Amino acid sequence: MDNGTSSAAGPSTCHRHRDRITYLRCSRCERHICGECSRDSPVGQRCPECAGVTTRVVPARSIRSGMTPAVLVIIVISVAAYLAQRLNARFTIDYAHITVAVSAGEWWRVITATFLHSTGSIVHILFNMYALYLFGPYIERQAGVIRFVALYVASAITGGVAFQYLADGGAVGASGAIFGLFGAVLVGTYPLRHTPAGAARFRQLLLLLAINLALPLLVPGIAWEAHVGGLVAGMLIVGAWQRIPPGPSADLARTLVPSILILAGLLAVFVA
């Protein structure tokens, strides 16, 4: 009996809506699903039947940006830090990522620099906070507050480690963490690229990536090393999440993935 799937790669009909051609498959039962039936989960798209049993779901058609708790807190901290920098230049000197200072044992600079931004232009913080607002809530809703924060911090630290080992001098900015979000969305929405919501996320992501990849060629002094480190971290974390089988220990396992990367990054900073 035809169940709406196909053994060959390519489109078929949704198993619930036989008049709709689709490329999507449920990541659990592998039945074809259309964009309306697709449910996002930390391990890819699911059909309504599988999603209702194993995951906390958000319908793909209703995915949208909007403020979430962790994103709001990060934005508030970043803006407050920026204002402190404008009021007292010493604040930047004390908490920026300065490679010689980190090598001397001030490891916390790898983290604190994430909440600082260049005071020479407001564009730096505006762009990073806009990217956080655009992509952060989507990830936070899917992964949960704790795992989102862990992913953000892990990406920031990994970007800082890359800067520490590949560059010399000083750096500020959330770009490593933001690129971690880019990597997370890139991997997480890849299976949804044929749905309206997934296609929209890809267009937004590709535009921001193109701008950021071009900036080091146009503007000197941009810490591209942190960008690359954060991007790789976000892709690795979500890629690992997608391979964790469903079960009672799945949430704990997903929390451990970025936590391990955080510890590994801090260890790399200690021995730098």
Q: Rounded to an integer, what distance in angstroms lies between the CA atom of residue 106 and that of residue 270?
A: 9
Known active-site residue 78: no
Token pair recorded at residue 267: 């260890």
What do you get for the CA distance between the two ends of the chain, in Å? 61
Amino acid at 184: A
Domains of the chain plus CATH, in order, are 12-61 (no CATH), 68-270 (1.20.1540.10)
Q: Residue 126's pLDDT is what?
A: 93
* Rounded Cα distance, 156 and 247, in Å: 29
| Cα four-point dihedral sign 6, 10, 16, 18 | negative
For each of the chain's 272 residues, which pLDDT tens digit applies? 334 333 334 557 777 777 666 767 777 777 877 766 777 665 566 777 776 644 444 443 334 446 899 999 999 999 999 999 999 999 999 999 999 999 999 999 999 999 999 988 898 899 899 989 988 998 998 899 999 999 999 999 999 999 999 998 999 999 999 999 999 988 887 777 777 766 776 777 778 777 776 766 666 667 889 999 999 999 999 999 988 988 889 889 999 999 999 999 999 998 87
Distance from C-alpha of 54 to C-alpha of 46, rounded to nearest angstrom? 9
**Residue type present at position 145:** V
The answer to whether residue 38 is catalytic is: no
What is the rounded distance in angstroms from the CA atom of residue 21 to the CA atom of residue 72? 39
What is the maximum span of the chain, computed from C-alpha positions, in angstroms?
72
Which of 200-215 are b and which e, b meaning 16 or more Cβ less than 10 Å from the residue's Cβ?
Answer: ebbebbeebbeebeee
| Residue in 232, 141, 144 with CA at minimum distance from that of residue 184 | 232
Angle between helices 145-166 and 224-242 (to 10 degrees): 140
- Reported pTM: 0.75
Q: Please give the Cα distance from 233 to 258 (Å, whole number).
A: 9
Catalytic residue among 175, 194, 249, 259: 175
175-188 vs 196-218: helix crossing angle, rounded to 10: 150
Q: Which amino acid is at 198?
A: G
Q: Which pLDDT score is estimated for 52?
A: 62
